[in-house]
Structure 1
Amino acid sequence: MERPLLVYTTFPDAPTALEIGEALVRARLAACVNVIPGMQSVYAWKGAVERGTEVVAILKTREGLADALAAELKQRHPYETPIILHLPVSGADPDTAAWIATETGLG
């Protein structure tokens, strides 16, 4: 079975994250998107240190969809350079892995 993959990204607000997350789930590029509001960020951007409020989104997918998911996320994302980090999963409950595979078109 193909290994699960977590994708970490951030959005400017929860409505944007939920809208894009739903589109990715409907497209079967992700089985689930967790949106965690209320994050405070400090980051370097174009030579300046910035602060902002963001939301975290963790997308549950599988390794074979990494490139397609990243491309769709970039296309829909409001940021000029969205953060897209692939977090490999070293192990998963078999039922969880099967659910992710099924919901992303392998089942």
Structure 2
Amino acid sequence: MFNPGDHPYQLIFCTCPDQEVAKRLATLLVENHHAACANIVPGLTSVYRWQGKIETDSECLLLIKSRADHYPAVEQIIREQHPYELPEIIAVTIGNGLDGYLRWIDEELHQQS
């Protein structure tokens, strides 16, 4: 049975300006074994305040499946490759999940290129 304390799995959210940026980031993260999978969700509308002004933008959401021990590398890759000055990078702990899927995440993150 899955014990979240054994392997702190994470779902990392990152908004991107378009699918091209999202796909480039997803590919880098998966190729470098810092993410087992990354989903690109198109068609978001984000409303936020930036530099005192309300902004509305079309974006994509990148959902990255990883683990806490890979978070620093995930953050570094996103910060280096993302076009935004201040990209959204938010990690939440996965409290439970299908045992086989979580084991698959472990296997993918332990493989070397």
Q: TM-score, normalised by structure 2?
A: 0.89
Q: Which runs of 4+ in 1 moved over 3 A?
A: none
The 1-side partners of 2:80 and 2:21 are apart by 13
The 2-side partners of 1:30 and 1:59 are apart by 6
The 2-side partners of 1:91 and 1:64 are apart by 17
Q: Which runs of 5+ in 2 are unaligned?
A: 1-5
Kindly state the Cα deviation for residue 65 of structure 1 after the two structures are TM-superposed. Answer: 0.7
2:90 to 85, 90, 98: 85
Within the alignment, does 1:32 sit opposite 2:37 as a pair?
A: yes
Residues 31 and 61 of structure 1 are in contact (CA less than 8 Å); yes or no, is this contact kept in structure 2?
yes
Aligned to 1:56: 61
Q: Which runs of 5+ in 1 are unaligned?
A: none
Please list, as runs of the form range in 1=range in 2, the aligned pairs for 1:3-18 lying within 5 A after superposition.
Answer: 3-18=8-23
Instruction: Tell me the number of residue pairs that the alignment of Structure 1 and Structure 2 aligns.
Output: 107
Kindly state the Cα deviation for residue 76 of structure 1 after the two structures are TM-superposed. Answer: 0.9
Kindly state the Cα deviation for residue 94 of structure 1 after the two structures are TM-superposed. Answer: 1.0
Q: TM-score, normalised by structure 1?
A: 0.94
The 2-side partners of 1:35 and 1:70 are apart by 17
Kindly state the Cα deviation for residue 3 of structure 1 after the two structures are TM-superposed. Answer: 2.4
Residues 4 and 92 of structure 1 are in contact (CA less than 8 Å); yes or no, is this contact kept in structure 2?
no
Please list, as runs of the form range in 1=range in 2, the aligned pairs for 1:69-80 lying within 5 A after superposition.
Answer: 69-80=74-85
Within the alignment, does 1:99 sit opposite 2:99 as a pair?
A: no
2:65 partner letter: K
Percent identical: 30
